[in-house]
Structure 1
Amino acid sequence: MELGLASSRGPAGPSLAVAGRRPRPSLSPPLPCPLSLQIQTRGYSMPTLHHKAHTTVGCQASVAAKYMETPDIVDLDWENLGFGLVDTDFMYMAKCGTDGNFSSGEIVPFGPIALSPSAGVLNYGQGLFEGLKAYRKTDGSVLLFRPEENAIRMKNGSDRMCMPAPTVEQFVDAVKQTVLANKRWVPPTGKGSLYIRPLLIGSGAILGLAPAPEYTFLIYVSPVGNYFKEGLAPINLIIEDNFHRAAPGGTGGVKTIGNYASVLKAQRTAKDKGYSDVLYLDAVHNKYLEEVSSCNIFVVKV
């Protein structure tokens, strides 16, 4: 992808080559175990990069709302999907108290959740999120890409934010449960993907500044197209030299929810000027490329 880069104080500079709600399915007896998805394993060389292995994770989520797995695909305008929230059928929820152990979790209908006004996530921003995708193959099966890496990142972030985290096995199993419960929302091959959003939040009530007494791990999904409206075409980024994305000693190295609201002002200004997003510089020297508001950036010297 080629990005047109520009300083926030001047015109565009040289280019760099850089790497509606639908009806719910009919009710029927609970979906039987075991559930299986293909999971792309980690690979750092070409031979292993294309290897796909089945994982055998036991069912650990109870089914609060009875549903059936159906081969049908929801009738959406897949050609113009875009990247926006589409309410799906089900989500996953698990709770954790002061003992640090998460409940087995359950699949429940997608919808609002109840939180105390004094919940830790609302008052002190004690929360993390992840983002990964599921893809439909030509044979109709569904593929996940390295969900264990997202689980590991959430565990690393939870330590920084003084939160308990589900085990890697619990995380991967919960992702599989949620995707299979919403399989009819996975776009047809080549038409997009099912975006998966795991959340870990301090849901317990707390007044003083301290870790919350209870935590909720939940996952919801939404079918999506390309993130940028340009699709796979080149995008234009503006270099921001007044605001910074992260600072040494801060939380820029973990995916905490508080890292994102702070970029909205610069991002809105950039979009008002016709740019796709903002490219931030480092907070120490204010000259080294750091990252974009919503993603990393890789620069290839040619």
Structure 2
Amino acid sequence: MLQKQKIDWESLGFGIYPTRSMWKSTSNSNGQWDEGGLIPYGNIEISPAAGVLNYGQGIFEGMKAHHSSKDRVVLFRPDMNAKRISRSCKRLCMPEIPEDYFMNAILEVVRDNIDFVPPYKMGGLYIRPVVWGTAPTLGVAPASEYTFMIYAAPVGPYFKNGIKPLNLIASQSYHRAAPKGIGNAKAIGNYSSTLLPVKEAKASGFDEVLYLRADNEQLVEEVGSANIFMLKGNQLVTPRLTGSILDGVTRDSVLKLAQDKLGLTIKESDLLLEDLFKADEVFCTGTAVVITPVGCITYNKIPYKINDGNMGKVASQIRKLLISIQLEEEEDTLDWIHLI
């Protein structure tokens, strides 16, 4: 029996907290992954000429393990992450990771660090799988060796003091991704390119950036690292997956719950920015934030309030339902929960 960690769970934020172990495996030049295994959590050695450092040949995933209401540790839809990491690998010319191999590695990490999973309703164990090109590569070319790692860190609830609707700025200066690019892969370069826009937005008093389509700036794409939804009447709309938008696990879950549980009409289509200004509700979805309402969007220096700046009824219902399923408070009729 593992000893309980002496962690101040109530003070946990969203950051790095060293755990016991992490997973590491490597692929050979033929793209075959070795057996892999757990190693102590800590720094690693990597060549300064590694493909990931020089040419950004790297991807990652994000998922959580929770203590549920049934006093057991569970994962939420890990098969979705397994499928997506392989798609991302393929797009960046890296060896794909078999789903069963991925799942085994995830389970090994969580089981060995299970005492770092926060108590029920006090947060979760954030799990970060990564794949990097680690062989020295001077010219622009796929690396000859790759490293697959998984580390984890206990994190507290994202909103400790209640949910505050986001104040967004629709960017006319930056795009998140280009058509026919890598926007639909969870590639590291997609995230470093957002650092400056977010820094500038926060310096101007905004919480995040709403990115518009590179090929048509009248259309909405994503909010930072989150998908976006709009409710108008009984219809819930989110931008269609054009190849420049990440296929979020929470996004997919919200679409299914909205239709199956709340009886809403769902629509994946091009979404006009001006339609957001007239929406009944607007909210964002993601692994970290789950569901976060949007209270205001500023465009051309004009602020447009959404639902009087408050969280809407439907966003609140879907958020509550989704979290209830993740924590096994609600019956899992969709077979989304995976027991550790």
Fold in common (TM above 0.5): yes
* 1:74-122 superposed Cα distances (whole Å, 9 cap, x missing partner): 2223223221111111100011011211011111110011111110100
The CA deviation at 1:273 is 2.3
Aligned AA for 2:24? Answer: M
Q: Which residue of 2 aligns with 1:210?
A: 141
Q: Which residue of 1 aligns with 2:35?
A: 104
Does residue 5 of structure 2 align to residue 74 of structure 1? yes
* 1:179-211 superposed Cα distances (whole Å, 9 cap, x missing partner): 111111101100111110000000111111110
User: C-alpha separation between the residues in 2 aligned to 1:230 and 1:122?
Assistant: 38
Does residue 124 of structure 2 align to residue 193 of structure 1? yes
TM-score of the superposition, structure 1-length normalised?
Answer: 0.74
Distance 1:236 1:73, change over 3 A: farther
**Contact 1:73 / 1:187 at 8 angstroms: preserved in 2?**
no
Q: Which residue of 1 aligns with 2:165?
A: 234
User: C-alpha separation between the residues in 2 aligned to 1:211 and 1:231?
Assistant: 45
Secondary structure of the residue aligned to 2:148 is strand
Identity over the aligned pairs, expressed in percent? 46
Unaligned runs of 5+ in 1: 1-68
Q: CA RMSD in A?
A: 1.5
Q: Which residue of 2 aligns with 1:275?
A: 206
Match of 1:154 among 58, 82, 85: 85
Does residue 215 of structure 2 align to residue 287 of structure 1? no
**Contact 1:165 / 1:200 at 8 angstroms: preserved in 2?**
no
User: C-alpha separation between the residues in 1 aligned to 2:196 and 2:15?
Assistant: 20
Q: Which residue of 2 aligns with 1:116?
A: 47
User: C-alpha separation between the residues in 1 aligned to 2:162 and 2:211?
Assistant: 22
User: C-alpha separation between the residues in 1 aligned to 2:207 and 2:156?
Assistant: 16
Unaligned runs of 5+ in 2: 234-340
Aligned AA for 1:285? Answer: N
Across the two proteins, how many residue pairs are aligned to each other? 233
The CA deviation at 1:234 is 1.7
Q: Which residue of 2 aligns with 1:41?
A: none
The CA deviation at 1:226 is 3.7
Structure with more contact order per residue of length (Cα contacts < 8 Å, sep ≥ 6): 1
Q: Which residue of 2 aligns with 1:243?
A: 174
Distance 1:230 1:202, change over 3 A: farther
* 1:142-181 superposed Cα distances (whole Å, 9 cap, x missing partner): 0001111111111111111110022000001100100111
Match of 2:68 among 106, 125, 137: 137
Aligned AA for 1:260? Answer: Y
Q: Which has the larger helix fraction?
A: 2
Deviates more, 1:157-166 or 1:72-81: 72-81
Q: Which residue of 1 aligns with 2:231?
A: 300
